[in-house]
Amino acid sequence: MTFATSTHTKAFHPLQAAQRRPPKPKPCRNCKVPFIKCRPLQRVCGWECGLEVAKKIAEKQARALARADRVKTKKSIEDMEPLSYWEKRAEKEVNRYVRLRDAHLGCISCDKGPNWDGQWHASHFRSVGAASALRFHLWNIKKSCSECNRHKSGNLSEYEPRLRAMPGGNAKVDWLRTQNQIVRYRRDYLERLTAVFRKKANRQAKRNESRFSVA
């Protein structure tokens, strides 16, 4: 009498093998020391580290709330500022860009060269009072020494011929002379202008740094 032998064996299940493997230690969120988790969502090795983590989270949330409160307060203060405040902010960034753009040049109104160690300004050919439409126009603004701009009101007797001597200067000066409009800028436009020229000035500063460092 012969007996048939069964070749059937129990199927191997990878999940069962994984369950039999010992758990891997995980680093504590606070002290970074490896530990074996007792609960699925456990992130710290003990209650002391748990208190430290909770303290850090509370401090981070407090800083975020304080930062949000400062932003809100600043916005509330800015909302009460007159339009002249926004015009000066925009003009500050435009003038900064002009000084960086013309860093390799001397004064537009006298013979001081770019290595003059005094204070440099951004001088308007047509004044803001005479032509407010040109307040932020780059053709109308050139780098000038503080002596010409502040003490000689731009020294226009020298400013104009030097401006005309530049490439395309005659056409530009003639056009600037015709712009006598009085413009009232909106706050949203001034805010955008400030942001644009802040970026332009920062980029120009980096270009100047690399250019002059090579030179």
Instruction: Please indicate, yes or no, whether the overall pTM of this predicted structure exceeds 0.75.
Output: no
Residues near 194 by Cβ (< 8 Å), separated by ≥ 6?
86, 89, 90, 93
115, with CB counted inside 10 A (0-12, 13-18, 19+), is exposed
Q: Where are the alpha helices (DSSP H) in the chain?
A: 14-20, 47-79, 83-101, 146, 156-164, 169-178, 187-214
Contact in structure between 193 and 94 (CB atoms under 8 Å): yes
Of 164, 165, 167, residue with least CA distance to 176? 164
Two structure tokens written together for 32: 């970074």
pLDDT value of position 38: 86
Pairing of strands 120-124, 34-35: unpaired
Residues near 34 by Cβ (< 8 Å), separated by ≥ 6?
25, 26, 27, 28
The residues spanned by each domain of the chain are: 24-80, 83-214
Could you list the pLDDT tens digit for every one of the 215 residues in the chain?
555 555 555 555 555 555 567 788 889 999 999 988 888 888 898 889 989 999 999 999 999 988 988 888 887 777 778 999 999 999 999 999 999 999 999 999 999 999 999 999 999 999 999 999 999 999 999 999 999 999 999 999 999 999 999 999 999 999 999 999 889 999 999 999 999 999 999 999 999 998 877 55
Rounded CA Rg of the chain: 34
pLDDT value of position 10: 56
